[in-house]
A and B are shown apart, each in its own frame.
Chain A
Amino acid sequence: MNKKIVIEPMARVEGHGGIEVVIEDNQVKDVTVDIFEGPRLIEQVTVGKTPDEAVSITSRICAICYISHRFADIRAHERTLKIKPGEKTKLLRKLAHYGEMIESHSLHYYLLALPDFLGYPDAITMTGRFPEEVAGGLELKKFGNRVMEIVGGRRIHGENMRIGGFGKLPSEEDLEWIKEKALMLIPTIERGINLWKELEVPDYLEEETIFVSVLPEDGTFGFVADTIVVSTGEKYDAEEYEKVTNERVVPHSFAKRCRYKGKPYTVGALARLINMGDRLDGMAGEYFRKLYNDRWKRNPFYNNIAQAIEILYCLEKIPSLVDKIKSTPYKEAKSGKDSGEGTGLVEAPRGLLIHHYKIEKGLVKYANYIAPTTQNLDDMEKYIRNAAERLLEKKIQDMELPLEMIMRAYDPCISCSVHMVKIIRK
């Protein structure tokens, strides 16, 4: 059989991407994930700008994950200019970031992923049979949005988080609301997690892979650290990130690709739970230990349930975090340095996010940003190839939906993954 399967554009992912599978003489000849979203050139836009300007610019790499980009950027500048943020600043950043995790994950889990597993073409048709689940997902998303708005300053591209501190501190009333609402939403996500137990997870793609994430130095599960851990055991300081990412250009995509020691790898919620799940406490830890099995290490569909567990983790942590914020005095941090080099790491909802700067006399001289989806693209292609080969063996003709589900499971954010291509003039 000779056939070309083209899924273009991908539905239910952010941005413009597609999958192409070429089958010749009953063999899968080629699989490509095509990114046709144009290059953003943000790394060139920030050159010559001040660190404060760069923070505002890079927040705009994404609307959904603006907090993560802003957070990673601020951390990179603070490492570069040797600025030590105060305790309350760090706690508030964590709160804003939890809001973003909840917002992004709930939208993906309930509206993009669950329709695939429940057999619906989209969340709209799913609403009829599962109104509570959809309503619950939207409630979680709305809560996440509100946390980002209260702490970040705006729902999208808030300017309140700055290098060294915050512009305005949230009110006691708003903090109390966040705490109460987080507690109220715990049963909602528990229902969402329990729904997963009834679902059948496809196995037509399974293969072990490598997982990469941050690893908090204090032994806890978390989204912020200066250490990168690989599931094969190696650890790297943030400044050594290029030993992990090894970016390269491919002809069929505006987005660059990454490999670790020549092998594709996965970042995101699944990677975080594989690498740090044993550090989870509370109900999130209990659900992880109940639901985890060997298939998680070889099947990207488990990224979906990993996201749901992370929603629960964030909701559980928020009440004590709010209490600490309220009882910690605020102190702005400043720096005397105007030059240096540094890298900021943050786990965005979709995975490890890296911002790297060289600053000279107060202006950006060099910038490099690596988004999580860029890092996942090679593994996406690998699993799609696996699925295409195995479905072909089973003589299954309609492969489009099973292949789309794989790409969706990664929750790709394509507009972030479009990474600058360096132009060399000779």
Chain B
Amino acid sequence: MKIVCGIGNIWRCDDGAGIRAAEMLKEKYQVFICNTYPENFVDEICRLRPEKVIIIDAADFGAEPGTFREVNTSEIDSRLLSTHTIPLSFFVSLIKRCCREVVVYGIQVKDIDFRDHLSPEVRRGVRALVNLLMSE
């Protein structure tokens, strides 16, 4: 089984990119909409014994908005660990305990203001990533 985890906040414009992408992949993958608390889904995911977990989240790596790429966990800032936020690298390390193949896709954001829709560039980037993952 292959799982997709959509991470982010749909009320913060392009921070919802991961969730929007995940919603469009339900035909082919077992999808979890993790919002901003993916650590709450670790048990459920591991119980399914997936062969691959794909994590999709908004990111900022200085590229053109809507660009997506695979992100190495060493690139993710692990310092932001507090009672209000657990870094993605922590979630990845927990998932790796039950699944060998874990891939993280980051989609470059343009705008993370308080809006409930994606910017046009990021919307296009989400579609491109979805097309890629549907064709795998």
Residues of B within 8 A of A127 (CB): 90, 93-94, 97
- The CA-CA distance from A15 to B87 in the complex, in Å, is 14
| Minimum distance in angstroms from A109 CB to a CB of chain B | 10
Asked if A124 lies at the interface with its beta carbon under 8 angstroms from chain B, I say yes
Residues of B within 8 A of A138 (CB): 39-40, 42, 94
Asked if A297 lies at the interface with its beta carbon under 8 angstroms from chain B, I say no
With known contacts A138-B39, A138-B42, A141-B39, A122–B83 Cβ distance under 8 A: no
The 8 A CB mask of B83-108 against A (1 = contact, 0 = none) is 11011011001100100000000000
Query: A11–B81 contact, CB under 8 A?
Result: yes
- The CA-CA distance from A45 to B43 in the complex, in Å, is 41
| Minimum distance in angstroms from B44 CB to a CB of chain A | 10
Query: B78–A124 contact, CB under 8 A?
Result: yes
Query: A12–B81 contact, CB under 8 A?
Result: yes
Query: A145–B81 contact, CB under 8 A?
Result: no
- The CA-CA distance from A112 to B86 in the complex, in Å, is 10
Asked if A28 lies at the interface with its beta carbon under 8 angstroms from chain B, I say no
Query: B81–A64 contact, CB under 8 A?
Result: no
In-complex Cβ contact of B40 among A63, A145, A413 (8 A):
A145
- Chain B: CB-nearest residue to A104: B83
In-complex Cβ contact of A63 among B81, B84, B87, B94 (8 A):
B84
With known contacts A139-B43, A141-B39, A112–B93 Cβ distance under 8 A: no
Residues of B within 8 A of A63 (CB): 84
Interface of chain A, helix or strand or loop or mixed? Answer: helix
With known contacts A139-B43, A142-B40, A145-B37, A124–B89 Cβ distance under 8 A: yes
| Minimum distance in angstroms from A64 CB to a CB of chain B | 5
- Chain A: CB-nearest residue to B96: A127
Residues of B within 8 A of A411 (CB): 83
Residues of A within 8 A of B83 (CB): 14, 64, 104, 107-108, 112, 411, 413
Query: B84–A64 contact, CB under 8 A?
Result: yes
- The CA-CA distance from A386 to B62 in the complex, in Å, is 44
- The CA-CA distance from A135 to B39 in the complex, in Å, is 10
Residues of B within 8 A of A145 (CB): 37, 40
Q: Which of B72-87 contact A (CB under 8 A)?
A: 78-79, 81-84, 86-87
- Chain A: CB-nearest residue to B36: A156
Residues of B within 8 A of A111 (CB): 81, 86
| Minimum distance in angstroms from A15 CB to a CB of chain B | 8
Query: B82–A14 contact, CB under 8 A?
Result: yes
Query: B37–A13 contact, CB under 8 A?
Result: no
Q: Which of B30-84 contact A (CB under 8 A)?
A: 37, 39-40, 42-43, 78-79, 81-84
Query: A112–B82 contact, CB under 8 A?
Result: yes
Query: B84–A123 contact, CB under 8 A?
Result: no
Asked if A155 lies at the interface with its beta carbon under 8 angstroms from chain B, I say yes
Residues of B within 8 A of A202 (CB): none
Query: B90–A123 contact, CB under 8 A?
Result: yes
Asked if A131 lies at the interface with its beta carbon under 8 angstroms from chain B, I say yes
- The CA-CA distance from A154 to B39 in the complex, in Å, is 17
Residue in A13, A14, A124, A413 with the greatest tally of chain B CB atoms within 10 Å: A124
In-complex Cβ contact of B79 among A11, A112, A134, A139 (8 A):
A11
- The CA-CA distance from A122 to B42 in the complex, in Å, is 19
- The CA-CA distance from A210 to B119 in the complex, in Å, is 53
- The CA-CA distance from A168 to B38 in the complex, in Å, is 27
| Minimum distance in angstroms from A62 CB to a CB of chain B | 8
- Chain B: CB-nearest residue to A121: B78
Query: A13–B97 contact, CB under 8 A?
Result: no
In-complex Cβ contact of A131 among B43, B78, B87, B97 (8 A):
B97
- The CA-CA distance from A138 to B86 in the complex, in Å, is 11
Given contacts A139-B43, A411-B83, 10 further A-B contacts (CB under 8 A): A12-B81, A14-B83, A112-B81, A122-B78, A123-B81, A127-B93, A127-B94, A135-B94, A138-B39, A138-B40
Task: Jot down 28 A-B pairs with beta carbons below 8 A, ordered by A.
Answer: A12-B81, A12-B82, A14-B83, A14-B84, A15-B84, A63-B84, A64-B83, A104-B83, A107-B83, A112-B82, A122-B78, A123-B90, A124-B89, A127-B97, A134-B94, A135-B42, A135-B43, A135-B94, A138-B40, A138-B94, A139-B43, A141-B40, A142-B39, A142-B43, A145-B40, A155-B37, A411-B83, A413-B84
Chain A positions within 8 Å of B, measured between CB atoms, are 11-15, 63-64, 104, 107-108, 111-112, 122-124, 127, 131, 134-135, 138-139, 141-142, 145, 155, 411, 413, 415
Chain B positions within 8 Å of A, measured between CB atoms, are 37, 39-40, 42-43, 78-79, 81-84, 86-87, 89-90, 93-94, 97
Enumerate the 6 nearest inter-chain pairs by beta-carbon distance, A residue then B residue, closest first.
A14-B82, A142-B40, A14-B84, A107-B83, A124-B90, A14-B83
